[in-house]
Structure 1
Amino acid sequence: MRRVALLLALLLALTAVGCGSRVDDADDGGGGGGDDLEAEGEGGGSEEEEAANDDLTPESEELGTIPNPCSGEPAEGELPADTPGVTEDTIRIGVISDRENPAVPLPTVGIEEAVKAFVEFCNEAGGINGRTLELETYDSMITATDDVTKQACADDLFALVGTGSVQDQLGIETREGCGLVEVAGYSATSARAGSEDFFTGVPGLSPTDYNVGPCLWMAEQHPDAVKKVAMLYTDLPAASVRGQQVVEGCSSEAGFEYVVEEALPFGETNFGPIVEQMQEQGVEMFQMVSATSETLAVLREAETQGLELEVIDLGQQYYDANFATEPVAEGAYVLSNTAPFSEADSNPTLRLYQEYLDKVGGVQSTLGVQAFSAGLLFATATDALGAEVTREGLVTELQGITEWDGGGLNLVGSPGTNETIDCFLYLRVEGGEFVREHPEEGYDCDPAYIHTSDERFES
């Protein structure tokens, strides 16, 4: 089971800007659930009162930066005949994800609940053009993505919404074969990201394009440390391909010099030798693409051997409260594609997600935020169809959406073109919590950050 859990985390680690992790309400640095926000509002503080006055409801015309796509106002016209999953009164959608289980900790926990939260919100608003949403849920159980996709194909759905499975390379042909459009929370593999009729609000994986913005910023902040970098990744394809892409992009565009680059055997537990090698090479900056538990084990071994690292630079999958509370993680930089939970007081759409997640009894996570954003993206495209609700029309509308931030939930992406996002946000672990490091607000974005490699990094 430990090996399976590690594999799951490694598969997720491949995602460039399309992944995140669970952040417990009690440890997120201030972004608690709906009940917490309500209690803060009753406290009478000026900031809390302001936030309460800005709280969104199903009747709100705007959801942060986007119009509210959900309403009970019916569209004029007749529904095209034989539209799968759609009647005059309802739209049937499905979500596929790996659910929580007692044996293996999963990074996708929170996705299904986030889609339930979106459906709850949208139906309270009257549905989409007066059609209420009906949701079917499917547990891909790590290895069963193709099996449940076959079930979804047989269940008369209009589309898949908010999906996210760590082995999403499975079931692609099945989904394409039955014509199911997918508006996903994230993609774990480049095969899924590039599949037919696949869209996500946070595009993250390309075989050739990589966002080197974080590398360039690190080179400015730590010019000496980037000359002595260690990159470790597990020898599984998902992790090694991602690690190699980081090395190629950062060295090509930001002048990183990797004095240690090692693929560690899957399931390795003895990190003494690799830390000794890092010590011998004078490593000052540390990067790793692996499970959180393995990365923490390396950092503990580094502390034991007295290796002082100036920089710990990690990806989105480490935005996890369990990581932040470990003493060896103090000071680590961690990327995020979604608005920090600690900033919920100033982000009404993030509070909306938290409020409705609380109603369905879910646990907040960055992947959950992306799934809620995917629900809003689906609703926006479907709302634009009016009465002409067809899968072909949905695809056309989604292809035309080239700027999307989920109402302020996530960094700006282009679902319609599936381009690599040119934005980034660094958090930093301080006192066991994640705090914003760069930029001071929003995200740091620049088209010049996109590096196109002559090599192809495919998973």
Structure 2
Amino acid sequence: MKASKFGRITAGVLSLMLLGTACAGQRSGSDGSDTKSETKASDNMFGTLASPCGAGDAKGATAQGVTDSEIVIGYGDDRGFAQSPGLNKDMGDAVKAMIDWCNEQGGINGRKIKGNQYDAAYMQSVSVMQKACKQDFMLVGQGFAMDEAAEQYRAACELPTVAGFTVGPNAAMGPNKFEAVPYPVDRYNASGLMLAMEKFPEMKTDLDAINSTSPAITTGTRKIESVLNGMDVKFKNCGVQLNVKGDATFVPFAEKFKKCDVKALWTSKTPDPAALGMLEALDRVGVDVPFIGEATWYTDFISKWNTSGQGDNIHLSMIFQPFENADKVPAVKKYLEIVEGAGGKTALLGMQATSAFLLWANAAKACGSDLTRECVAKEISQVHEWTGGGLHAATDPGANLPAKCSMMLKLTGTKYEQIAPAEKGEFACPENAVVDTDKSLWGTELNKDRIATTFLKS
């Protein structure tokens, strides 16, 4: 998709995982030729991407989990977490559906894919990784909230991963790690902030943040503050800090913002009950300003809540195409068709896992019979523009760099719509959108190749 002329999974990880990051998708021939093959060739495009799956004659037991006829990969989520049953279920559902989709076409060069599905249940990432180390060719499209705890085991057994997402700094910057949608600790895609400031110039002089006593939210807010400072924008610092354990009322906080005369609000918080309480209080005291957040605010939880319109000021930046654009974006339509057709749950992280699977499959196909971990890593390291067939803005998986583009959505009543760029399905790609982050916020040390040194073998 053309960019407009506008020429990490972030903080609050547990809240993000508990609430989810996206709304669910509720949203032949008669000439004697091989019509079955022709149908597959035409039907198995994934958006703009030709299917990497199909028949072939690849042979050889070239690596752990690879035989003449099979490739064994690991994938999964935290669906068994007792406090939030089904946590990130859309990720595992997506990869499972994509494996079936691929195998129906013949697998990868004729080798069928076998998936070992794991449930880290939030606290079991270490045991999952220990199992994967012993049997999988690679991990593909997985997302484990506590991946940082398991990273030392993955690094030690040299198990490569094309992750659906990473959370911990060492996991995000680890060796033998790729992502279709990277969120490195040392770079930040500021295009969403730039787009918001173009839309709301008042951000430049009268912006403040809704902060929290949560260390994760504080770190996320500090990161955004650092980025904005580099753009000559400073928070007003009205002194509002929500209690992570809960607050009896949010009206005094709303009154503080009113007295401080804010004209726009930013939050790194995920849409939990406290955030909604804050929005309701702002509405009650008459603070009618743009409320700007990240993709975590694209969720059924919020749209179903907003029947009264108290969230009509919510604006969020996205690098993924929303489901509302499925009529304009074939890749989104294809994702929904495949995963819903398999009875799976659809959500934003599911699209992220799907993009990871396609990135891995594309590289595996290019390796042919010589399917080794080294070959797949080499192939992905050469991919410097990736959209998952159009699921999201272009990223640079090979260099572990984020997207340079974004779009803005607005919630009105119970519906999200793209408001910038104006043309549906397009992204804004400002100059110099990817900026360096404050080293003190990285959470790990990086070597000259931008790889975390914590678990790196010498």
Shorter-chain TM band? 0.7 to 0.9
1:278 corresponds to which of 234, 257, 264:
257
Query: Matches of residues 169-184 of structure 1 in structure 2 within 5 Å?
Result: 169-184=148-163
Query: Matches of residues 248-327 of structure 1 in structure 2 within 5 Å?
Result: 248-253=226-231, 255-260=233-238, 262-270=240-248, 271-293=250-272, 294-304=274-284, 306-325=285-304, 326=306, 327=309
1:413 match: secondary structure: coil
2:60 corresponds to which of 73, 79, 83:
79
> Aligned partners of 1:385, 1:116: CA distance in 2, in Å?
22
Is the contact between residue 91 and residue 141 of structure 2 (CA under 8 Å) also seen in structure 1?
A: yes
| Equivalent residue, structure 2, for 1:358 | 340
In 2 relative to 1, CA 11–191 (structure 1 residues): closer, same or farther, beyond 3 Å? Answer: farther
Q: Does residue 369 of the first structure (1) align with residue 347 of the second (2)?
A: no
Is the contact between residue 94 and residue 135 of structure 1 (CA under 8 Å) also seen in structure 2?
A: yes
> Which letter does structure 2 place at the counterpart of 1:430?
T
Is the contact between residue 209 and residue 235 of structure 2 (CA under 8 Å) also seen in structure 1?
A: no
1:137 match: secondary structure: strand
2:68 match: secondary structure: coil
Q: What is the CA-CA distance between 1:58 and the residue it aligns to? A: 6.7
1:274 match: secondary structure: helix
| Equivalent residue, structure 2, for 1:202 | 181
Higher alpha-carbon deviation: 221-230 or 351-360? 221-230
Is the contact between residue 9 and residue 291 of structure 1 (CA under 8 Å) also seen in structure 2?
A: yes
| Equivalent residue, structure 2, for 1:149 | 129
Q: What is the CA-CA distance between 1:399 and the residue it aligns to? A: 0.7
Deviation readout 1:262-295 (Å, 9 max, x if unpaired): 5533222233332232122112211222231221
> Aligned partners of 2:85, 2:437: CA distance in 1, in Å?
34
> Aligned partners of 1:380, 1:437: CA distance in 2, in Å?
33
Q: Does residue 400 of the first structure (1) align with residue 382 of the second (2)?
A: yes
| Equivalent residue, structure 2, for 1:67 | 50
2:195 match: secondary structure: helix
Is the contact between residue 22 and residue 297 of structure 2 (CA under 8 Å) also seen in structure 1?
A: no
Q: What is the CA-CA distance between 1:247 and the residue it aligns to? A: 1.2
Is the contact between residue 254 and residue 287 of structure 2 (CA under 8 Å) also seen in structure 1?
A: no
> Which letter does structure 1 place at the counterpart of 2:224?
V
> Which letter does structure 2 place at the counterpart of 1:426?
M
> Aligned partners of 1:418, 1:246: CA distance in 2, in Å?
20
> Aligned partners of 1:362, 1:11: CA distance in 2, in Å?
18
| Equivalent residue, structure 2, for 1:331 | 313
TM-score normalised to structure 1 length: 0.84
Q: What is the CA-CA distance between 1:407 and the residue it aligns to? A: 0.4
> Aligned partners of 2:138, 2:390: CA distance in 1, in Å?
24
> Which letter does structure 1 place at the counterpart of 2:365?
D
Q: What is the CA-CA distance between 1:377 and the residue it aligns to? A: 0.5
In 2 relative to 1, CA 411–85 (structure 1 residues): closer, same or farther, beyond 3 Å? Answer: same
Is the contact between residue 21 and residue 107 of structure 1 (CA under 8 Å) also seen in structure 2?
A: no
1:95 corresponds to which of 47, 70, 75:
75
Is the contact between residue 22 and residue 367 of structure 1 (CA under 8 Å) also seen in structure 2?
A: yes
| Equivalent residue, structure 1, for 2:15 | 9
Deviation readout 1:285-327 (Å, 9 max, x if unpaired): 11222231221111012122x1323211011111102212323
> Aligned partners of 1:320, 1:61: CA distance in 2, in Å?
29
> Which letter does structure 1 place at the counterpart of 2:23?
V
* Runs of 5+ unmatched residues, structure 2: 1-11, 28-38, 444-458
> Aligned partners of 2:118, 2:148: CA distance in 1, in Å?
16
Deviation readout 1:408-448 (Å, 9 max, x if unpaired): 11111111100132111111102311101111232112451
2:89 corresponds to which of 109, 115, 120:
109
In 2 relative to 1, CA 58–204 (structure 1 residues): closer, same or farther, beyond 3 Å? Answer: farther
Is the contact between residue 319 and residue 335 of structure 1 (CA under 8 Å) also seen in structure 2?
A: no
> Which letter does structure 2 place at the counterpart of 1:172?
E
Deviation readout 1:231-263 (Å, 9 max, x if unpaired): 123333322211111111123215344333655
Query: Matches of residues 19-58 of structure 1 in structure 2 within 5 Å?
Result: 21-26=21-26, 32=27
1:167 corresponds to which of 146, 157, 162:
146
In 2 relative to 1, CA 205–274 (structure 1 residues): closer, same or farther, beyond 3 Å? Answer: farther
Q: What is the CA-CA distance between 1:218 and the residue it aligns to? A: 2.3
> Which letter does structure 2 place at the counterpart of 1:201?
A
> Aligned partners of 1:348, 1:220: CA distance in 2, in Å?
29
1:140 corresponds to which of 120, 132, 135:
120
Is the contact between residue 137 and residue 159 of structure 2 (CA under 8 Å) also seen in structure 1?
A: yes
Deviation readout 1:320-359 (Å, 9 max, x if unpaired): 0221232321131112221110111222222221122123
> Aligned partners of 1:198, 1:236: CA distance in 2, in Å?
28
1:74 match: secondary structure: coil
2:387 match: secondary structure: coil
> Aligned partners of 1:261, 1:105: CA distance in 2, in Å?
36
Is the contact between residue 80 and residue 390 of structure 1 (CA under 8 Å) also seen in structure 2?
A: no
In 2 relative to 1, CA 231–392 (structure 1 residues): closer, same or farther, beyond 3 Å? Answer: same
In 2 relative to 1, CA 87–447 (structure 1 residues): closer, same or farther, beyond 3 Å? Answer: farther
Q: CA RMSD in A?
A: 2.3
> Which letter does structure 2 place at the counterpart of 1:281?
C
Q: Does residue 391 of the first structure (1) align with residue 362 of the second (2)?
A: no
Q: What is the CA-CA distance between 1:177 and the residue it aligns to? A: 1.3
Is the contact between residue 80 and residue 120 of structure 2 (CA under 8 Å) also seen in structure 1?
A: no
* Runs of 5+ unmatched residues, structure 1: 1-5, 14-19, 27-31, 33-55
Q: What is the CA-CA distance between 1:64 and the residue it aligns to? A: 2.5
Q: What is the CA-CA distance between 1:173 and the residue it aligns to? A: 0.8
Q: Does residue 192 of the first structure (1) align with residue 176 of the second (2)?
A: no
1:349 match: secondary structure: helix
Is the contact between residue 197 and residue 204 of structure 2 (CA under 8 Å) also seen in structure 1?
A: yes
